[in-house]
Structure 1
């Protein structure tokens, strides 16, 4: 249940944020080689983003939570490294965007995911307690 919620949340988050930032109105960057939605965009939204975040949250569940700031910063830097590689491989084409904006966005998105994970755990625990 937890896994499905996390993957669904990140599918939604990735597709909405990319539609806002890469859509016709703001048009900060292109994904793949075309500004229009493609099947490969769906693949990225369904598998790449959600599973990477799931891996991050899985690792998070095993670390000492006193080091959460360090962990989040390390995760953001690793993700920015993958993004820079993606830019070199033309997965993303920046227009009015730069990697520092991504650092801010990833910090917010990973923090949202940590809070979402904690919320889901509380809700699941309440459901189990009622049963």
Structure 2
């Protein structure tokens, strides 16, 4: 069940503004990926974000809350569906555009992780996330793994779709 926010305050406004900015940025960029590939990226992002939160943000671990409470609020769903997927799309868009290899790939993943930690720190400051045993150092580790997974999924999907003759670009 989706619960309404306890109060519509700074954290909800921050989440809405973040969602509008990243969603608009993703929509305004020239289309780069096919609808199939974009769908895979979105679905994988939804799976990863909700799975990680289900493992570490709820009982028995319960290291942080998203939004005002540990209940699944409307703003939690907004973040999962309208902030995280376009953020992943932007990360992979520029990855595909710049095609970093070797150490540049490692630096790209590390840079994306660092930017995400800074943005999460800002979100924590406005109480989008309430830490209960969590800290940004843990987030950096999670982002490094998750962004490496995104790059792996990107290469896997490009290879599989090319092998099948399915168009990956718009």
TM-score (norm 1): 0.94
Match for residue 126 of structure 2 among 89, 101, 108:
89
Structure 1 position 72 matched with structure 2 position 109: yes
RMSD over aligned CA atoms reads 1.1
Match for residue 106 of structure 1? 143
Partner Cα separation in structure 2 for residue 94 and residue 37 of structure 1: 16
Tell me which of 26, 35, 41 is aligned to 1:6. Answer: 41
Q: Which moved more, 1:107-116 or 1:19-28?
A: 19-28
Using the TM superposition, give the Cα deviation of residue 41 of structure 1 relative to its aligned residue in structure 2, in angstroms. 1.0
Say whether residues 1:44 and 2:79 are aligned partners.
yes
Q: Which of structure 1's runs of 4+ aligned residues deviate more than 2 A?
A: none
Deviation at 1:83, TM superposition (A): 0.3
| Structure 2: segments with no counterpart, 5+ residues | 1-35
Aligned residues: 129
Give the unaligned 5+ runs of structure 1: none
Q: CA deviation at 1:65?
A: 1.9
Q: CA–CA distance in 1 between the matches of 2:115 and 2:154?
A: 21
Query: Cα offset for 1:73?
Result: 1.1
Structure with more helix by fraction: 1
TM-score by length of 2: 0.73
Alignment-derived partner of residue 53 in structure 2: 18
